[in-house]
Structure 1
């Protein structure tokens, strides 16, 4: 079975199929992308799910800001376990020019790199899983489990409507476990299983002190400078060494199970990765613990005046956008109040605070039986240890599956941190996809044998 997975990939069939998927410009935040998304559902995904023996249905999104959902269902026997898979059909829009000879909608191979929008996020990843299921079915004539495959079309815009859809269609999505692929591995060389995702909260700080700018020579020293004020306000939340200063923005602690899972995990281990900065972040934690098991507060944007053409004037307004990346167990309901109180206590009540969230943090417990099963299965197939991450660093709608549907979540990513997702020259590593196809095939095969 695993040899056939290798043979299928090496035949060029996977590349040719992925080229078809990449050719659909399924950008979810553009009107023309909505047309491509519907075509992708109808012409690409429906036929592939039907080839797996699934009954396929398209559902409208309860949120008008979101696109439709597609669900394929194959029932082999009621007593068998039911697997829920997930993928997203949409991609991000173009924010920059691709390198010469590369086009986002044309799959292009250059050595180990296969370039094209969606190769890593998420078309290449869900194609790996669809292909593994197809190989298993062709070999055995049956999967050995029931299958449900959910595709959403708005993950890149925050998954609007997904939570409401799952709540309203619990029976449609009822399953025993989620196995899905998105996000990156620990690094290109390390097969990885992760169990959830950090959440994120965006915090906007606004020091809007006056409508006009005033000459710095005539008014400097007697008018409050909003840029200086904002710099001080930020430093009272996160210091100049990346250490969060507000206890309410941190988790209560690092669980022993998470610490144990992250023991020995090395981050930024791929050639070309940036060098880690000594002295940045909480010194009590390892780099892996800071990235996968803790909260961080980052400044995403900071502005006042015109830095490219500064004038001799005190600006009237300064703004900054910060992001709290947080792990499961953090109470983020009071973030706005905690930040405002901290700023007032530090002498910055004039700085306005606005908070909005996106994905919620969630994770499956490290000691869950499904986790032990998946880890042992993958370890038996991979030729090197499989990294187990309690959470991956970015955001995914994992909470929909853990908190709404009550499932254990097993994420087997087929990409790596340097894939340039959301940027020009996004690419999939052929070596990672090839190995991913073998790992996914083995995991699905083991599920069919699990009773």
Structure 2
């Protein structure tokens, strides 16, 4: 790497970090209690747009506008555009300014969700990892590239922000369908979610999908004395537990063939084989004998489906009585990869339960979101790996899809974009919990990586990767 412009941007972003500028900017963002949930109010959320994002984006030459949310009561979207030439590559990025509740009383002494605190080489505060800190890293790197190139990028950039990600992004899919022209681009690059591990820079190319469904068994209106009726009347708790056991065994292996994906594609299996996914990298001991037998931990977590019991209820756990409960309920979740027929999950589970003799167990799909995955062999993946390696010295880990779920289908399926995520967090960051934190090492690496990525997007190699991707479309 010899380009003086890129070196200047890297030096400036490093200085901004070392001199405390980044910490000041992050503290300002953490102080906004932009919590979203069922009772979220725009009065609490919109100031993050008006007082934080819009001033920063306008100062960098973006034109900001609002896209009204088609879902009643949901917050609008902020669209910022920086168009230098209709002939340039166009990139779409994304972030969210909402956070989960603070759970103030659960934080360790000396820590607060609404004040940035430095402890043990990490910054603590709500949103530092999810997602305020991550999109601040990207915007900071972008600003330094623009400054180093004397006010230009060499590509066009559109930035879409929302205030509802923590309440399942209401309206995001609809607005992207309705405003597809305004959001048209050649590539999607954004940051959310965790790295493979704290010390390993990572790219991920999509996410597993999620389908939550309810099972219920309600044979009667009231409870029955277990001494007078036990042995001659059906116990819905036993029925439901047995029905679940017919779907997933005691080692976590899915037993319903139609809930499984097709075989792991070779490029995906090759990418997973290069990952270090174990107790050490994840920071918590994993159960080696859980899940699909014969698979590596990386394949079980990132390349296959899992069926989880989220809730299981019968009777009164706090005050058990000598009665056969009148009903039993459970919520199950299928985490699934590309190729799973998840939209037919009600029919699949209904057929299985009938064949297994559980005709009195009802099934209802509650919610679901698709799985997505850019082919690891895409030219854009090779390009992104090279951009990261240029400043890190080694290639990043490439994760075909997250084990969790982000709204990647909005960008890959609705807008038809190749998607590359560059996360600036790690599995132990405690997002959505007390003591959320972001290690300084990840921030400093993230700033350097994003300077390299944004700088390289203005170079000929990025346009070449785009043309090669178009010539060889991937599934």
2:425 matched to 1:430? no
Preserved CA contact (<8 Å) 1:83 1:145: yes
Q: How does 1:59-70 map to 2 (within 5 A)?
A: 59-70=67-78
2:5 corresponds in structure 1 to none
- Tell me the secondary structure at the aligned position of residue 172 of structure 1: coil
Partner residue in 2 for 1:411: 421
Alignment partner, residue 10 of structure 2: 2
Q: CA deviation at 1:346?
A: 1.1
The equivalent residue for 1:309 is 319
Q: Report how far residue 357 of structure 1 moved.
A: 2.5
SS at match of 1:354: strand
Task: Assess, with a 3 A threshold, how the Cα gap between structure 1 residues 356 and 192 changes in structure 2: closer, same or farther.
Answer: same
1:102 maps to: 111
Residues 25, 33 of structure 1: 8 Å contact kept: no
Q: Look up the match of 1:34.
A: 42
- Whether the 8 Å CA contact 1:187–1:269 is kept in 2: the answer is no
TM-score with structure 1 setting the length: 0.97
Closer, same or farther in 2 for the Cα pair 1:196/1:271, shift >3 Å? closer
Cα separation, 1, equivalents of 2:88 and 2:384: 18
Give the Cα–Cα distance (whole angstroms) in 1 for the partners of residues 360 and 102 of structure 2: 38
Deviations 1:180-201 (CA, angstroms, capped at 9, x unpaired): 0000000101100000011100
> Displacement, 1:59?
1.4
Distance 2:194 2:307 in 1: 21
CA deviations over 1:91-114 (Å, ceiling 9, x no partner):
112456222222211111112221
Separation of aligned partners in 2, 1:43 and 1:301 = 40
Deviation at 1:283, TM superposition (A): 1.0
Give the 3 Å change call, closer, same or farther, for CA 335–358 of structure 1 in structure 2.
closer
Q: Match of 2:467? A: none
Deviation per CA, 1:149-183, whole angstroms, max 9, x where unpaired? 10011111111111111111112111111110000
Counterparts of 1:30-429 in structure 2, within 5 Å, are: 31=39, 33-95=41-103, 97-141=106-150, 142-270=152-280, 273-429=283-439
Q: TM-score, normalised by structure 2?
A: 0.92
CA distance in structure 1 between the aligned counterparts of 2:359 and 2:202, rounded to whole angstroms: 45
Kept in 1: contact 2:95–2:160 (CA 8 A): yes
Q: Distance in 2 between matches of 1:115 and 1:270?
A: 23
In structure 1, C-alpha distance between the alignment counterparts of 2:121 and 2:444, rounded to whole Å = 11
Q: Deviations over 1:46-94 (max 9, x none)?
A: 0111111000001110111421100110111111111111001111124
The number of residue pairs the alignment matches comes to: 451
Summarize deviations over 1:328-356 as a string: whole Å, max 9, x none: 12111210011011111111111111112
Kindly state the Cα deviation for residue 31 of structure 1 after the two structures are TM-superposed.
4.3
Distance in 2, Cα, partners of 1:243 & 1:90: 36
Post-superposition offset of 1:307: 2.5
Which stretch of structure 1 is more off in the superposition, 219-228 or 195-204? 219-228
**Structure 1 residues 32 and 241: CA distance shift in structure 2, 3 A:** closer
Which blocks of at least 5 consecutive residues in structure 1 are unaligned?
none
Q: CA deviation at 1:384?
A: 3.9
Q: Tell me, what secondary structure is at the counterpart of 1:171?
A: coil
Q: 2:197 touches 2:282 (CA, 8 Å); kept in 1?
A: no
Q: Distance in 2 between matches of 1:373 and 1:385?
A: 11
Deviation at 1:298, TM superposition (A): 0.6
| CA displacement, residues 360-409 of structure 1 (integer Å, 9 cap, x when unaligned) | 21111111111111012212321444100010111111111111111111
Checking the alignment, whether the CA contact within 8 Å between 1:26 and 1:33 is kept in structure 2 is no
* 1:269 Cα deviation after fit: 4.8
Cα deviation, residue 30, structure 1 = 5.4
1:221 shift after superposition: 1.1
Q: Is the 8 A contact 2:314 2:328 kept in 1?
A: yes
User: Is the contact made by 1:71 and 1:149 (CA closer than 8 Å) also made in structure 2?
Assistant: yes
Q: Report the RMSD for the aligned CA atoms in angstroms.
A: 1.5
SS at 2:438 equivalent:
strand
Structure 2, unaligned runs of 5 or more: 1-8, 464-475
Shift of 1:272: 7.4
How has the CA–CA distance of structure 1 residues 260 and 397 changed in structure 2, closer, same or farther, with 3 Å as cutoff? Answer: same
Partner SS for 1:159: coil
The alignment partner of 1:170 has SS state of coil
Cα distance change of structure 1 residues 28 and 338 upon mapping to structure 2, 3 Å threshold: same
Q: CA offsets, 1:107-162, max 9 Å, x none? A: 11112221111111100000000000001111112111111110011111111111
The whole-number CA distance in structure 1 between the counterparts of 2:360 and 2:13 is 61
> SS where residue 297 of structure 1 aligns?
strand
